[in-house]
Amino acid sequence: MVSPILPGPGILLLGRYSRSINNSGNCFPVFDSAITHARIIIVFTKLSPDFPEYDDKTRDIWDRLAGWWDDKIGDGNSFQDYLIEPATERLLALKAGEKVLDIGCGAGRFARRMAALGAIVTAFDQAEKFLVRARKRTTENAERIEYLKLNATDAAAVLSLGERCFDAVVCTMVLMDMSSITPLISSLPRLLSQDGRFVFSVLHPAFNSGTARNVAEHYQQDGRLVTRSSVTVSDYTKPFAFKGIGIRGQPEPQYYFHRSISLLFNACFRYGFVLDGIEEPVFPEDFTGRSDNPLSFDRMPLVPPVLVARMVLR
């Protein structure tokens, strides 16, 4: 392929370049200059979805948060009730008797919901304290749910679950909490049956991640005082790790990993997945549980705080 490449300010080289991808999926364009016949290798800025340096730091936080988190939302909150679970269920379209893997199951709320729909569920989490809560809360359909302790950033551990043994894999509100996602996503094609699906939800990468800021403006319009709620975004394209609060009042912050939509989906496309369904659920305009807080997403019926996607294998 003949292509102009600018290796530095004001210098234009015409030549051929090809792309090679190393083991970690990073792209290294290899440039052969037609002018100098010298071989120049340019390493593009790395945009990796993975932050392995945070693997250890993130591990224990969820175990410390588990009790508080489960006390707070074990019975569900408005995000789960109105946005995440209905969209996930629609995209999953479960049939009774199907085998499902629930990754990062927390206290098992969605695992139990799937078992109630007739699925046979293997649910795992890395936080032992969440699993203790999950087992305690499982009073019905217990014969259809198995809870395991497993770290989703460990590909060998994920692959030990077996080859081609799940009709569906679900991962609700976990990927943005995981330091490394490539070990998991690269393993899923081997776990899923031929026509299996992978449904995940995340905080919306564009509107509810990283430096996105919720803004409320009060102003006069046609003789009325109006409140307008919105989101402003500054740093979107670059992936980064940050500490944040998932639920107001939580005893310590957790790590989040901001990944743009293209970074997130390309991590799936690279391992043979294609996007087959997507939802960006919002709270309806007449939402009855609407809060008084103008910064809340339930006051923004046109801004989706979560993104839910279904991936299938090509």
Ligand X SMILES: C[S@@+](CC[C@H](N)C(=O)[O-])C[C@H]1O[C@@H](n2cnc3c(N)ncnc32)[C@H](O)[C@@H]1O
Where do contacts with ligand X occur on this chain (CB under 6 A)? 62, 104-106, 109-110, 125-127, 130, 151-153, 172-174, 177-178, 246
Which residue, among 105, 307, 97, 119, has the nearest Cα to 208 in the 3D structure?
307
Would you say 58 or 229 has its CB closer to ligand X? 58
Would you say 15 or 204 has its CB closer to ligand X? 204
**Contacts from 5-11 at CB under 8 Å and sequence distance 24+?**
5/29, 5/31, 5/42, 7/31, 7/40, 7/42
- The nearest distance, CB 165 to ligand X, in angstroms, is 19
- The nearest distance, CB 46 to ligand X, in angstroms, is 22
H helix count then E strand count, the chain: 8, 15
Q: Retrieve residue 65's tokens.
A: 């948060």
- The nearest distance, CB 299 to ligand X, in angstroms, is 22
Would you say 13 or 191 has its CB closer to ligand X? 191
Identity (one letter) of the amino acid at 188? L
- The nearest distance, CB 106 to ligand X, in angstroms, is 3
Would you say 13 or 170 has its CB closer to ligand X? 170
- The nearest distance, CB 102 to ligand X, in angstroms, is 7
The Cα–Cα gap between 251 and 235 comes to 27
Residue nearest to ligand X (CB): 106
Residue 258 CB: number of other CB atoms within 10 A?
A: 22
Would you say 5 or 148 has its CB closer to ligand X? 148
Strand-pairing partners, residue 32, are 16, 39
